[in-house]
Amino acid sequence: MANKKRKAKAAVMAVTTALTVAIGTVLGLSASMTGGADMRASLDIAPSPFKDRKVAMLTSLPLFTPEAYDIADQLAATNYHPLGETLNQRYALGVHDVLEAGLADDPELLILAQARPFTPDELVQFDDWLRAGGEALVFADPMLHWPSIFHYGDPRRPEGVTLLSPLFAHWGLEQRIDENQPEETWLVRVDSDIVPVMQAGHFVIQPTDTDDSCTVRASGLIADCRVGKGRVQVIADAEMLQPQYFGIDSDHADPGHTHSSAELHGTGAVVIDWIDAMLSR
């Protein structure tokens, strides 16, 4: 029953997207839906050597379509996220609502960016795919702070928590969070880079009855795991994906998230570097 509902939702989303593009074309606004320079901005980074590499993505974040109450507002929106456009330009990208559709493309890399909760069957499917040699980059924020026009409880709102803990435990990880952290942005060094986080989680290595092996770095912010024949890199926060760290302002951005430090310059490029590095393995 759950699978039928998810497939029905995916079908509705596909029809809505097609209708939006069609209406935009009729009104002469197709540039806003197809990457027009006046509506979208991509990151100013080096050309991609991975244009033909298949990347699948599942996300609840408005990285590809601005939040809007209806199609008219969506057509009029100008606050497109530059990460979405950059991903479209750099890779053979497929954005999906359900895991089955994402894996059907046989991607070289699967990106989960605060994805909607998986069903138990999907958790098994994701784990099996990794063990067969799949590679994944996962942003799993246990306490997401993302401005939204939608109220709490609205299914269109970005997912507030990650529910991948059963998989993490299976791989030998425990995700923890200090709930007494102040609600403010702070900086974490990741190798030679610095990234912003807010009330981030952290990973701790735990015993597991599998042959999986994980290491953690950046004070536990990032876990790198070998799962069967595959690999997964998990980041215990999604603050770094906020649009203000990519050089633009969001219509609904919370000023409390803005950090003017020059150390934040290039945060978008750091995320792209992580993706490129996984495709280079």
Domain ranges of the chain: 2-279
Residue 180's pLDDT is: 87
- State whether residue 242 is helix, strand or coil: coil
Left if phi > 0, otherwise alpha if psi is -120 to 50, otherwise beta: which for 46? beta
Residue 35 DSSP code:
T
Average pLDDT (40-53) is: 75
Residue 45's pLDDT is: 66
pLDDT digits (tens, 9 = 90+) for 59-73: 999 999 888 888 887
Residue 22 DSSP code:
H
* CATH for 2-279, options being 3.10.530, 3.20.20, 1.10.3470, 3.40.50: 3.40.50
Average pLDDT (108-113) is: 98
Average pLDDT (12-33) is: 36
Residue 73's pLDDT is: 78
Distance linking the first and last C-alpha atoms of the chain: 39
Average pLDDT (123-140) is: 98
Based on its alpha-carbon atoms, the radius of gyration of the chain, rounded to whole angstroms, reads: 18
Residue 93's pLDDT is: 97
User: What tokens were used for 91?
Assistant: 């890779």
Residue 117 DSSP code:
P
User: What tokens were used for 213?
Assistant: 């092996």
Q: What is the pTM of this model?
A: 0.79
Contacts of the segment 32-40: beta carbons below 8 A, 24+ positions apart: 32/75, 32/77, 32/78, 32/80, 33/75, 35/85, 35/88, 35/89, 39/78, 39/80, 40/80, 40/82, 40/85
DSSP-assigned beta bridge partners for residue 225: 214, 232
Identify the residue with better confidence: 99 or 9. 99
Average pLDDT (127-138) is: 98
The answer to whether residue 151 scores a pLDDT higher than 50 is: yes
